[in-house]
Amino acid sequence: MGLLRLEQARPGMQLTSDVVDRNGQLLAKAGNELTEKELRLFKIWGVQGVNVAGDDDANQQLQNTAQDSVIEPRHAAAARELFRHCDLDHPVVALLLEECARRIAGGGKHAT
Amino acid sequence: MPPSIEDLIRKSTNIASLPAVYMRLVEVMEDPYSSADDVGAVISEDTGLTARLLRLVNSAMYGFPSAIESVKQGLTVVGTQQIHDLALATSVVDMFKDVPQELVDMASFWRHSIGCGVCARALASELKAPNVERHFVAGLLHDIGKLVVFMSHPDGARAAIEQSVDDKTLLHEAENAVLGYDHAAVGQALMSSWNLPVSLHVPVSLHHRPARATRFQIEVAVVHLADVFAHSMLMGSSAERWVPTLNAFAWERLGIPENAIANVLADVDQQYEAAVRTILEDSE
């Protein structure tokens, strides 16, 4: 598995690479299990993400819990229609399409 | 035969140059012998600009514990560049009050524009680019050419919008078919008649064709992507129905990792409503 955003990292996850701050100062070594205190420290030092071990499913589940609205097929279809001029195979487009569908599902946040 | 771009700009005399308060402000800022007091005096003459400056410095973005109540105090908080950009944004929003409402809802148009500006600033921050406010202004003004067409040639604008809806094409393609030029070209011509720096017109003129940029490639790519982001995030509407085509080259030029996109979206959500309030509140 790979890079998690700091907000998604939880105590007990195992680091697969060293965590350093912007100046290259070592904050935690690869192989360590994350602690609550370390996560706070990373936040203070501006660390954006950490590499942790684990399977993709667990990661996916974590990301899904962060989303509040259920995306129904009609929301996804409406979003795909808006993206008709974009290459849906491009990874950034795929991410933005999902974000768009989520907003449509959420009642069109900012849609005024 | 549709009117030329020059005709469009000449036709609406009140948009051919920026308002006097903005011009005086630039003059004072460029004068090495002027002080912050001189800048304050120019701002205080304009009630709209004063109100917006105070709202900006009292917004959550600065997070001062006590209220800032005077222009003089406010000027100690924000930099000259930001005052300049705020004055430009204010002037431009006020200038286009008379656009026919049947073609575009102006509040919605500015929400899209401000959304694009905020996305541009967030992308530039992710790149750790210097002077991120510059990118905000380029994003804010990227569709300004549409307003010129709406005001000076409403029939042509309507024909282009109808064609884009009927044929399900992007508006700038329909504009090229109907008018022979698109809003990006009109926007560039307007900004050059305003004597704005070239680093601002190039991103506006190439925001649908970022791969053509030979200079200011980062600025161009930022505005291009910010437009795609603002559409994806359903922020307002600028008479364009579809999300513009994302240019893979522009994304690669920025080199932002994909897992940083969530950060960018979160930053935008945090800043968007405050930016809308700062700029739009008095004009709606």
Instruction: Compute the average pLDDT of residues A10-28.
Output: 83
Residue B121 resides in a domain:
yes
Residue range(s) defining the domain that contains residue A90:
73-105
CATH code of the domain covering residue B156: 1.10.3210.10
pLDDT (tens digit per residue) in B149-194: 999 999 999 999 999 999 999 999 999 999 999 999 999 999 999 9
- The answer to whether residues A56 and A86 belong to one domain is no
What pLDDT score does A57 carry? 52
Shortest Cα–Cα distance, A99 to chain B (Å): 7
Instruction: Compute the average pLDDT of residues B83-96.
Output: 87
Higher pLDDT pick, A31 / B232: B232
Residue A59 resides in a domain:
yes
Count of domains forming chain A = 2
The answer, yes or no, to whether residue B11 has pLDDT greater than 60, is yes
The answer, yes or no, to whether residue A108 has pLDDT greater than 70, is no
CA B57 to chain centre: 20
pLDDT (tens digit per residue) in A46-102: 787 888 887 555 545 444 444 455 788 899 999 999 999 999 999 999 999 999 999
- The answer to whether residues A36 and A58 belong to one domain is yes
- The answer to whether residues A10 and A59 belong to one domain is yes
- The answer to whether residues A77 and A54 belong to one domain is no
Which residues of chain B have a CB within 8 Å of the CB of A48? 260, 263
Residue range(s) defining the domain that contains residue B12:
5-16+98-280
What pLDDT score does A66 carry? 45
Which residues of chain B have a CB within 8 Å of the CB of A112? 107-108, 111, 236
Q: Can you give the three-state secondary structure of chain B, one letter per residue?
A: CCCCHHHHHHHCHHHCCCCHHHHHHHHHHHCCCCCHHHHHHHHHCCHHHHHHHHHHHCCCCCCCCCCCCCHHHHHHHCCHHHHHHHHHHHHHHHHCCCCCCCCCCHHHHHHHHHHHHHHHHHHHHHCCCCCHHHHHHHHHCCCHHHHHHHHHCHHHHHHHHHHHHHCCCCHHHHHHHHHCCCHHHHHHHHHHHCCCCHHHHHHHHCCCCHHHCCCCHHHHHHHHHHHHHHHHCCCCCCCCCCCCCCCHHHHHHHCCCHHHHHHHHHHHHHHHHHHHHHHHCCCC
3-state secondary structure of A84: coil
pLDDT (tens digit per residue) in B207-244: 999 999 999 999 999 999 999 999 999 999 999 999 99
Residue A111 resides in a domain:
no
CA distances from A87 to A80, A93, A97, B246 (A): 11, 7, 11, 7
- The answer to whether residues A29 and A50 belong to one domain is yes
What pLDDT score does B127 carry? 93
Tokens, residue B90: 């204010």
Q: State percent of chain B over pLDDT 90.
A: 57
Count of domains forming chain B = 1
CA–CA separation, A2 and A21 (whole Å): 18
Residue B33 resides in a domain:
no
What pLDDT score does B228 carry? 98
**AA letter at B70:** S
Nearest to B248 among A90, A104, A108 (CB): A90
Residue B159 resides in a domain:
yes
CB atoms within 10 A of CB B60: 10
- The answer to whether residues A81 and A56 belong to one domain is no
B232 to chain A: nearest residue by CA?
A: A100
Residue A90 resides in a domain:
yes
Shortest Cα–Cα distance, A4 to chain B (Å): 8
Instruction: Compute the average pLDDT of residues B190-200.
Output: 91
The answer, yes or no, to whether residue A2 has pLDDT greater than 60, is yes
Pairing mode, if any, of strands A3-5 and A19-20? unpaired
Residue B92 resides in a domain:
no
- The answer to whether residues A43 and A78 belong to one domain is no
Q: pTM, whole model, 2 decimals?
A: 0.79
- The answer to whether residues A79 and A52 belong to one domain is no
What pLDDT score does B83 carry? 85
Would the ipTM clear 0.85, i.e. be above it?
yes
Query: pLDDT class for A112, splitting at 50, 70, 90?
Result: very low
**AA letter at B45:** E
Instruction: Compute the average pLDDT of residues B5-29.
Output: 86
Shortest Cα–Cα distance, A80 to chain B (Å): 10
Residue B120 resides in a domain:
yes
Tokens, residue B267: 């930053």
B111 and A112 within 8 Å at the Cβ level: the answer is yes
Instruction: Compute the average pLDDT of residues A16-42.
Output: 84
Q: State percent of chain B over pLDDT 70.
A: 98
Residue B69 resides in a domain:
no
- The answer to whether residues A59 and A77 belong to one domain is no
Residue B249 resides in a domain:
yes
- The answer to whether residues A25 and A55 belong to one domain is yes
CATH code of the domain covering residue A18: 3.90.105.10
Burial of A97 (0-12, 13-18, 19+ CB in 10 A): buried
Instruction: Compute the average pLDDT of residues A29-55.
Output: 82
B108 to chain A: nearest residue by CA?
A: A112
What pLDDT score does B140 carry? 95
- The answer to whether residues A31 and A81 belong to one domain is no
Residue A110 resides in a domain:
no
DSSP A13: P
Tokens, residue B260: 């940083």
3-state secondary structure of A96: helix
- Termini Cα distance of chain A: 39
Higher pLDDT pick, B114 / B99: B114
pLDDT (tens digit per residue) in B30-82: 899 998 899 999 999 888 889 888 888 887 767 777 888 888 888 888 888 88
- The answer to whether residues A11 and A52 belong to one domain is yes
Higher pLDDT pick, B225 / A5: B225
Tokens, residue B185: 């070209």
What pLDDT score does B15 carry? 82
